[in-house]
């Protein structure tokens, strides 16, 4: 986790930790007194304060979901759809080619071998993408500033020209060519 978090930092920027959602799929009844199959939890410190608001642990009782299918038949949440896709894979009864979650499930399963090299490569790929987006945003901002500056220079040059200032002096001050100033 620490390796991935630090790799996710965009060079030269203030890093803010993203949401961290952990899912524990459990094949046993963790909360026997509850009818829910999904339980969301957050860590708290000794003063009963939430440790970090962006960190959530979701415990999913897969066995309870599978045992009480009739109870959750109306549940169309993404989690329920995923659990149905996983169950279909395990049962090998259903043709999964039409299931929208199956390709995602196959892709996500690649992470299950917990190979540190693979995880770091994936993290670097995400970091590279985040860095590219940051560079694009910065370039767009600079381009916008430059365009705004050029527009302001043209506006000033036109005003100075209309007020009778020498075109060469206007060109020197605004960086616009004499031809540009005369064309305004």
Q: Minimal CA–CA distance to 38: which of 53, 24, 14, 59?
A: 59
Q: Are 23 and 140 in contact (CB under 8 A)?
A: no
Contacts 24+ apart (CB under 8 A), 139-142: none
Judged against a pLDDT cut of 90, whether residue 33 lies above it is answered with yes
Per-residue pLDDT band at 1 (split at 50, 70, 90): very low
Mean pLDDT estimate for the chain: 77
73-122 tens-digit pLDDT: 888 888 888 888 777 777 766 666 666 666 776 666 655 555 667 666 77
How far is it, in rounded angstroms, from Cα 146 to Cα 68? Answer: 62
Q: pTM of the entire structure?
A: 0.43
Diameter of the chain by CA atoms? 88
Top mean pLDDT of 34-38, 48-52, 154-158 is at 34-38
Per-residue pLDDT band at 2 (split at 50, 70, 90): very low
Per-residue pLDDT band at 36 (split at 50, 70, 90): very high
What's the pLDDT at 38? 92
Helix, strand or coil, per DSSP, at residue 20: strand
Residue with tokens 């930790």: 17
What's the pLDDT at 184? 84
How far is it, in rounded angstroms, from Cα 184 to Cα 173? Answer: 16
What's the pLDDT at 175? 82
Pairing mode of beta strands 20-26, 55-61 = parallel
- Where b means 16+ CB within 10 Å and e means fewer, 33-54 reads eeeebbeeeeeeeeeeeeeeee
Q: How far is CA 155 from the centre of its chain?
A: 41
Judged against a pLDDT cut of 70, whether residue 159 lies above it is answered with yes
How far is it, in rounded angstroms, from Cα 35 to Cα 113? Answer: 32
How far is it, in rounded angstroms, from Cα 45 to Cα 41? Answer: 13
13-40 mean pLDDT:
82
Helix, strand or coil, per DSSP, at residue 56: strand
């Amino acid at each position: 986790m620490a390796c991935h978090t630090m790799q996710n930092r965009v060079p030269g920027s203030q890093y803010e930790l993203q949401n961290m959602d952990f899912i524990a799929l459990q094949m046993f009844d963790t909360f026997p007194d509850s009818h829910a199959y999904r339980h969301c939890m957050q860590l708290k410190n000794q003063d009963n304060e939430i440790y970090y608001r962006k960190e959530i642990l979701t415990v999913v009782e897969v066995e309870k979901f599978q045992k009480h299918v009739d109870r959750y038949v109306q549940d169309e949440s993404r989690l329920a759809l995923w659990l149905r896709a996983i169950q279909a894979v395990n049962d090998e009864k259903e043709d999964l080619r039409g299931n929208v979650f199956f390709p995602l499930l196959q892709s996500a399963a690649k992470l299950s071998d917990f190979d540190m090299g693979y995880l770091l490569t994936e993290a670097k790929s995400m970091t590279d993408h985040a860095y590219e987006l940051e560079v694009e945003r910065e370039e767009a901002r600079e381009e916008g500033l430059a365009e705004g500056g050029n527009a302001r220079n043209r506006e000033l040059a036109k005003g100075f020209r209309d007020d009778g200032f020498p075109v060469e002096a206007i060109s020197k001050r605004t960086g616009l060519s004499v031809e540009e100033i005369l064309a305004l």
